[in-house]
Structures are given as structure tokens and as C-alpha cells.
């Protein structure tokens, strides 16, 4: 690995399953040559990065819409060059994807939380944040809620981003392709649960609601309190927003930015 001298010999990401999840039942380690492990009767999953490579896993099922809560404790110390990911992705060359990515920085500098949405292989919807706590000191809950109307990114119950379905004005929105859930810990020096199970055209999911939102999650939206909390995060902790990057879009900002 380039600049491998910056890394400790061994870095580790620890993930705890939710009450209803079981890693042995729901996911499979897909790469890492032993660096990814499931223990504690399926309740604990560890992804590790050493000087050889990282590791990752994916869900055994595909999902069309869902709500995924993941409790994670990120790599402490000098994490420069590491990327820790939680994302949903469909197969193919014109894929859909919903990204939560944690970009490591030099010791003493906070992680960058990177979010993005792809539809039919087209992205360019990045928003980035600094966190208001140390994500390496303890476990925190990172949530992706995806329903036909919106995608909501949440940290410890606080919404940080809402990506609405604006197909009416020509903005692509991922709503037709089932996706798998993925998570990985890897070296990127070169550029740096509840859900619906899709099976044979049918789906199954409990009807649940969450504080700070209205309606079951399949039609969930942010109430006024959650909207204000999200605006607080964006005012104080957002460090990049594609909707304000006029230099990136010389022909004009995307339509959804103008309609927001």
C-alpha cells in the first residue's frame, strides 16, 4: 500500500447488530482473507485492515426500500487513507447506490462523513460533514432510510441529509432496482435492521415508526423538529454541498438544488 508506514499494523472496525439482526444469518464476509469475522453468536462483526489489505461483507438478500441501522465504532488514531463504508448498491453498469462513507484523516483531525446518491450510474450528489463527536470513542448509530419518497441519512437519530424524490422536475431517484447492503474497511491512498426483503417479486416488513418522524418508515418523512435539527447540522457541520458548488456546474446547478 502506498504510504503504508502511516498505518498501525492492524486497524479494526467493530459493528454491532441491531436487536432483530443476526450477522451469521443476514450477511456474508465477501473478502479479506480472514480479516473479517463474525462472533458472539452473530451479534458482533469485525472488519480489519492490515498492511496486506482490508475486508468487507454484504447482505445475503436484496432490498427494495428499507431502513438500516448500523452501530459502528471507527478506527482510532491515525486513520489517514482509510475508507469505512456502509452503502446500498444494485448490480450492473447503470447501478443505483446510496453511500455512507467515513474518510480517515491524520491523527487529531476528525473523520469526514461523505454521502452520495447514484441513480442509473449517475451520481454527483455529494454532501460531506464533520461529526459533532468522536466516532472512535464509542459506538454510534448510522442509519439509511430509503422509501419511494425520500432518502434520509441519520446519525444517532439526528437527520443530516434528506434526498427527496424529485422525478417530477427530471431528477433521477433510485426506486426500481433492489440493492444489497455492503460494508468495508479499505485503504484508499490512491484517491484520498429493518428492511424489505425482495424475493420473487414480493416483499415483507414490519410497520414501524421512529421518534422525530411521521408515518411508518415506508412513507416516513421528517417532522418540523427533525427538519430544524437537520438544518442545525448543515449550518454547523457540513463542509461540502454539491448544490452550492457553482464552479462544478458551469452550465447551472442541478434542478433539485434550485427547487430545494
Residues in the chain: 260
Q: How many C-beta atoms surround the C-beta of residue 211 within 10 A?
A: 8
Among the listed residues 215, 173, 223, the one whose alpha carbon sits nearest the alpha carbon of residue 65: 173
DSSP code at position 19: T
Handedness of CA 120, 62, 111, 150 (dihedral sign): positive
Residue 99: all three cell numbers together = 453511500
Helix residue ranges per DSSP H, 115-251: 224-237
233 Cβ contact list (under 8 Å, min separation 6):
129, 132, 158, 159, 160
CA dist., res. 168 & res. 188, Å (int): 37
Residues 139, 73: contact at Cβ < 8 Å? yes
For residue 97, indicate whether it is catalytic: yes
Q: Annotated catalytic residue: which of 28, 62, 97, 162?
A: 97
Marked catalytic residue, from 101, 126, 162, 228: 101
**Residue 101 is among the residues annotated as catalytic for this protein:** yes
- C-alpha–C-alpha distance, residues 127 and 115, integer Å: 5
Residues taking part in catalysis = 97, 101
Amino acid at each position: 500500500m502506498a504510504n503504508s508506514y502511516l498505518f498501525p499494523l492492524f486497524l479494526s472496525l467493530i459493528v454491532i447488530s441491531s436487536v432483530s439482526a443476526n450477522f451469521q444469518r443476514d450477511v456474508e464476509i465477501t473478502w479479506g482473507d480472514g480479516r473479517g469475522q463474525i462472533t458472539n453468536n452473530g451479534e458482533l462483526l469485525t472488519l480489519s485492515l492490515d498492511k496486506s489489505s482490508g475486508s468487507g461483507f454484504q447482505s445475503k438478500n436484496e432490498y427494495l426500500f428499507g431502513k438500516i441501522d448500523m452501530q459502528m465504532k471507527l478506527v482510532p488514531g491515525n486513520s489517514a487513507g482509510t475508507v469505512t463504508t456502509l452503502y446500498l448498491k444494485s448490480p450492473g453498469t447503470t447501478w443505483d447506490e446510496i453511500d455512507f462513507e467515513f474518510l480517515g484523516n491524520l491523527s487529531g483531525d476528525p473523520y469526514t462523513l461523505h454521502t452520495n446518491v447514484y441513480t442509473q450510474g449517475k451520481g454527483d450528489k455529494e454532501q460531506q460533514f464533520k461529526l459533532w463527536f468522536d466516532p472512535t470513542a464509542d459506538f454510534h448509530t448510522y442509519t439509511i432510510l430509503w422509501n419511494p419518497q425520500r432518502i434520509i441519512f441519520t446519525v444517532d437519530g439526528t437527520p443530516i441529509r434528506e434526498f427527496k424524490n424529485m422525478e417530477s422536475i427530471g431528477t433521477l431517484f433510485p426506486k426500481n432496482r433492489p440493492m444489497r447492503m455492503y460494508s468495508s474497511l479499505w485503504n484508499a491512498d490512491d484517491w484520498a435492521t429493518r428492511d424489505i426483503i425482495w424475493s420473487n417479486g414480493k416483499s415483507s416488513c414490519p410497520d414501524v415508526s421512529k421518534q422525530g418522524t411521521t408515518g411508518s418508515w415506508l412513507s416516513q418523512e421528517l417532522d418540523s423538529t427533525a427538519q430544524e435539527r437537520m438544518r442545525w447540522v448543515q449550518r454547523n457541520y457540513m463542509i461540502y454541498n454539491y448544490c452550492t458548488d457553482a464552479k462544478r456546474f458551469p452550465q447551472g446547478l442541478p434542478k433539485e438544488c434550485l427547487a430545494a
